[in-house]
Amino acid sequence: MDKQRTFCLFLSYVGTFFRGSQYQLPPLKTVQHTIQNALESVLQVERKVPVRLASRTDAGVHAVVNVASFSLFMKTRVTRSLVTSLHQQLNQYLLQSSECLRVTDIKLVSEDAKAFDCRRSVTEKCYVYRLGVVPSHVGMLEYINKMDAFEAGMIGLTKFSRSIHILCQPTNT
């Protein structure tokens, strides 16, 4: 009898050529769409393999680690060699497809597919924002002050709506 098994994928990607991480209609090039296509191709299944992401990134944003999960109905017991083989085949497919996306790890999360949801089971998230250093010019001090205010609001638990509001204030120039 088939048993539903849930797997956790750890992904790393350069977001330059992705239109964000989550699926968008019409099927645009997203991380979720790309990993779903890779799974369906490698597993040679006729029906969709729904992939869930723990967090989302916007178009052009890179991720050192993002977590995804998917579930499969399987007759066989999941062994370490089966997971290793899936890991290798996914990365080979992504490499041959010239995708800037790699699976850094795969884990069998649960024999009970309802026990794990990568979006709801997450205990913490860490975002790192990197800004290029540019030569100073008129008005730069105003932007530096805004970034200082933004940074101060990022410490601890944060509601991002307030942070976006700080950055999106019109300038007085």
Host H or E run for residue 63: strand 63-74
Q: Residue 134 carries which DSSP code?
A: -
**Is 58 among the residues known to form the active site?**
yes
Three-state SS string over 91-108 comes to HHHHHHCCCCEEEEEEEE
Cα 24 from chain centroid (whole Å) = 14
Residue tagged active-site, from 2, 58, 112, 117: 58
Burial, 123: exposed, middle or buried (Cβ in 10 Å; 0-12, 13-18, 19+)?
exposed
Cα pseudo-dihedral 85, 90, 95, 101, rounded to 10: -130
Alpha-carbon distance 81 to 20, whole Å? 32
Active site residues: 58
